[in-house]
Structure 1
Amino acid sequence: MRIHVAASGDTLWAVARRYGTDMNQIILANQLDNPDVLVVGQALVIPEQGREYVVQPGDTLWAIAQRFGVPLQELAQVNQITNPALIFVGDMLVLPYFPYRVRQGDTLWQIARRFGTSMDRIVQVNQISNPAMLSVGQVLYIPREQRPVTEINAYITKTGEEGRSEVLALGRNFTYLSPFTYSIREDGTITEMREILVLEAARATGVAPLLVLTNFRDRSFDSDIAATILRSPELKETLITNIIETMEEKGYTGLNIDFEYVYPEDRENYNDFLRRTVARLRPAGYTVSTALAPKESADQAGLLYEAHDYAAHGEILDFVVIMTYEWGWAGGEPWAIAPINKVRDVLDYAVTEIPPAKIMMGIPLYGRDWKIPWQQGTFARTVSPKEAVQLAARYGVNIQYDEEYQSPFFRYVDASGQEHEVWFEDARSMQAKYETIKEYGLRGGSYWVLGSPFPQNWPVLRNNFTIEK
């Protein structure tokens, strides 16, 4: 897979020819509604011919395996497809092997080293009887290079049929699915959810569901309701009992606690609640994790940050999700949602308090459209990455890329004369995030939130990682 950034004068036909691939494969991989229009600065995912294949209408996994001469089981395994019937138009599949024609002077050792595999694996795949005897022009099938294994969590707010369809289509990319949200009540009970459809889809795609528990009430996080629970040992135990009953009933495999805007004086009360929760859930085989505000230091001031004790969470829990997004928040000035320099500032502190193998880095799947000049009290509109590119195309503006933030953006003027500024994510910005996960040796990444069309993300993810299941 390659990433191509459209330049002035580019056509899809010319781009396909440049990379030696099929134009229709590019259209499907990027879900291009109007292939005749490319925006200068638009990032495209380019499938590599002979190594990757994008599912077309009418395809079956069996037919694809036959077409490329690979065993069906191996094709399913390398793409982490648990049910061969669950493939979707636009899915970019990787092939277990790709062809290589032997050149003058090649040795099997050199070929294996060049493609990041082993001689034994090439010998096995090609049934070579004498590894020292290679012929110029001989076609060898090279096993796909192993990708590092990572864990991926995805939060989802649409828990009906729309959510079910999305999880079925994307589930092979996730380790965990986190339906948002169960909320706490003052008496230690929790609210109800109708999330059975997305839980069924998670099971069908080999994804472990996490019960998300928050202090969310009346469309915002409530400090007082958290204080009521956290300051009462009896209510803590009642709440844990109710959590376990719901997890057993619904088939959850773990708990993800997202308590936000907790009063600073409840910091130790929160830590105590976590210890009590782990003591009861871990022996029953459940994981326990939290979502943490993106802190850059232990003493960072603010109601969002002060009760989140990084060192304690790192010591008590199985893992944490650090919410490294929302710098460009809806009620603030235009900015990248997750500027990579700020994300790294958070991680630089986090790894001093929490083992990297317990950190899931938050990753946004959305962008925002602000009216400018920005005025206090106004709110940006949330847009998907796909919609952002469509906006740039509609208003005939180029997409720019901020190298410091590793984020695309553009400005446009609407029909009423109002100026706008849009920040969003694309294949390049996601590649920068995945490189960061690898560089810091993190457990993985966590998406907020499904439901925002972003076709380029999934092949970029797959090009970087094998997903832990």
Structure 2
Amino acid sequence: MQFHVVVSGETLWAIARRYRSNMNQIILANQIKNPDVLVAGQALAIPEPGREYVVQAGDTLWAIAQRYGISVQDLAQVNQISNPALIFVGDMLVLPYFPYTVQSGDTLWAISRRFGASMQRIIQINTITNPSMLSVGQILYIPREPRPVTEINAYITNMSEEGRREVLALGRNFTYLSPFTYSIREDGTITDLNDAGVLEAADTANIAPLLVLTNFRGRSFDSDIAATLLRSPELQETLLTNILSTMEAKGYTGLNVDFEYVYPEDRENYNNFLRRAVARLRPEGYTVSTALAPKESADQQGLLYEAHDYAAHGEILDFVVIMTYEWGWAGGEPWAIAPINKVRDVLDYAVTEIPREKILMGIPLYGRDWKIPWVQGTFARTVSPKEAVQLAQRYGVDIQYDETYQSPFFRYVDGTGQEHEVWFEDARSVQAKYDTIKAYGLRGGSYWVLGSTFPQNWPVLRDNFMIRKYS
């Protein structure tokens, strides 16, 4: 996978030629609506010919395997496709082997060193009888360097047929799926959620579903309802009984607790609730995790932060999701949603309190469009990364990139004369996030939220990682 940033006047044909790529493959990978109109500053994900292939209309896994001289089994395995009949237009497949033309002076040992591949595996794949005898111009198939294994969680709010189809189409990219949300009630019961369709899709895609439990009421998180529960061990036992019943009935594999704006005085009550949840659920084979506010220190002030005890959660739970996004929140001033320097500030603290192998780093799949000059009390509109590029295209403005935040942005003036500022994600910004997951040695990442069209993310993810699956 390579990235290309469009410069003014470039054509897609010229870009494809530069990378010796296929123009249609670039269109599919980036879901380019009008190939004749590109935006200066737009980042494109470029599939590498012979190493990666983007599924086109009419393709079958068998036909793709035949085209590249590999087995369907190998192609399915390296791409974690459990059902060969379920491939989707726009899916980027990595090829288990890529061709290399032997040059003068090449040795098998030097080739294996160059590509980080096992010499024995090269011999096996190419059925080489005499490793010391290579011919200039000979085509060798080189096994792809193994990608690190990571875990990926995805929250989803759309429980409709559209949401079910999205889970099916993207399911090979997820370890966990977290339908949002089941909410607590004062009597220890929980609200219902019409999640049958997305759970069925998760099962088909071999995804472990997590029951998300929140103190969400109406349109916001409710501190008082959390306090009612956290101050009553009896209510907690009732709640856990109801959770266990729901998880068993619906096939959930774990509990993800997302209590936000908890009163600071309930910090230890929250910890004790989590201990009680682990004691009830773990013996039944369920995982228990939480979603944590992005803190930069143990004593960070604010209702969002104070009751979230990083050290206790790291000790008690199977893993945590750190919500490393929303610096550029809808009700605040224009800013990158997840500026990488701030994300790293949070992780620098987090890894001192929580084992790295228990941390899923939050990753936004969306952007925002603010009216500027920003006025207190106004709210930005949420946009998908695809929609953001289309806005820049529509208003004829260049996309810029902030190197400190590792995030794209632009400004435009709408038809009424109102100025806007847009921050979003692109192939470069998510690559910076995946590099951060690797650099910190984290368990993986967690997306908020499915339903926002971000076609570049999925090929970039697959280029970086294999996704851990739990049968």
Q: TM-score category by the smaller chain?
A: over 0.9
- The letter of the residue matching 1:463 is D
Q: 1:119 offset after TM fit, Å?
A: 0.6
Contact in 2 for aligned 1:116/1:146 (Cα 8 Å): no
C-alpha distance in 1 between matches for 2:285 and 2:132 = 51
Map of 1:83 onto structure 2: 83
Map of 2:245 onto structure 1: 245
Normalised TM-score (structure 1): 0.99
For 1:21-170, list aligned pairs within 5 A. Answer: 21-170=21-170
Q: 1:185 offset after TM fit, Å?
A: 0.4
Deviating more after overlay: 342-351 vs 134-143: 134-143
Instruction: Summarize deviations over 1:1-39 as a string: whole Å, max 9, x none.
Output: 111110112100000000001111111111111000010
- The letter of the residue matching 2:54 is V
- The letter of the residue matching 1:141 is Y
For 1:298-317, list aligned pairs within 5 A. Answer: 298-317=298-317
Map of 1:270 onto structure 2: 270
Normalised TM-score (structure 2): 0.99
Q: 1:160 offset after TM fit, Å?
A: 1.4
Contact in 2 for aligned 1:400/1:409 (Cα 8 Å): yes
Q: Is 2:351 aligned against 1:351?
A: yes
C-alpha distance in 2 between matches for 1:243 and 1:132 = 64
Q: 1:240 offset after TM fit, Å?
A: 0.7
C-alpha distance in 1 between matches for 2:408 and 2:451 = 20
SS in 2 for 1:93: strand
- The letter of the residue matching 1:134 is L
Deviating more after overlay: 445-454 vs 44-53: 44-53
Number of aligned residue pairs: 469
For 1:371-386, list aligned pairs within 5 A. Answer: 371-386=371-386
C-alpha distance in 1 between matches for 2:209 and 2:47 = 31
Map of 2:177 onto structure 1: 177
SS in 1 for 2:447: strand
Map of 2:261 onto structure 1: 261
C-alpha distance in 2 between matches for 1:317 and 1:354 = 10
C-alpha distance in 1 between matches for 2:418 and 2:60 = 48
Q: 1:209 offset after TM fit, Å?
A: 0.4
Please list every run of at least 4 consecutive aligned residues from structure 1 whose deviation after the TM superposition is greater than 3 angstroms. none
C-alpha distance in 2 between matches for 1:133 and 1:70 = 24
C-alpha RMSD over aligned residues? 0.6
C-alpha distance in 1 between matches for 2:234 and 2:127 = 66
**Uncovered stretches (5+) of structure 2, i.e. residues with no partner:** none
C-alpha distance in 2 between matches for 1:197 and 1:176 = 16
Q: 1:124 offset after TM fit, Å?
A: 1.2
Q: 1:96 offset after TM fit, Å?
A: 1.0
Map of 2:406 onto structure 1: 406
Q: 1:95 offset after TM fit, Å?
A: 0.9
Q: Is 2:31 aligned against 1:6?
A: no
For 1:358-373, list aligned pairs within 5 A. Answer: 358-373=358-373
SS in 2 for 1:410: strand
Q: Is 2:321 aligned against 1:321?
A: yes
Q: 1:66 offset after TM fit, Å?
A: 1.2
Map of 1:466 onto structure 2: 466
C-alpha distance in 2 between matches for 1:227 and 1:183 = 14
Instruction: Summarize deviations over 1:127-180 as a string: whole Å, max 9, x none.
Output: 112222211111110111101100000000001101001001100000000000
C-alpha distance in 1 between matches for 2:107 and 2:157 = 53
Q: 1:187 offset after TM fit, Å?
A: 0.6
Map of 2:287 onto structure 1: 287
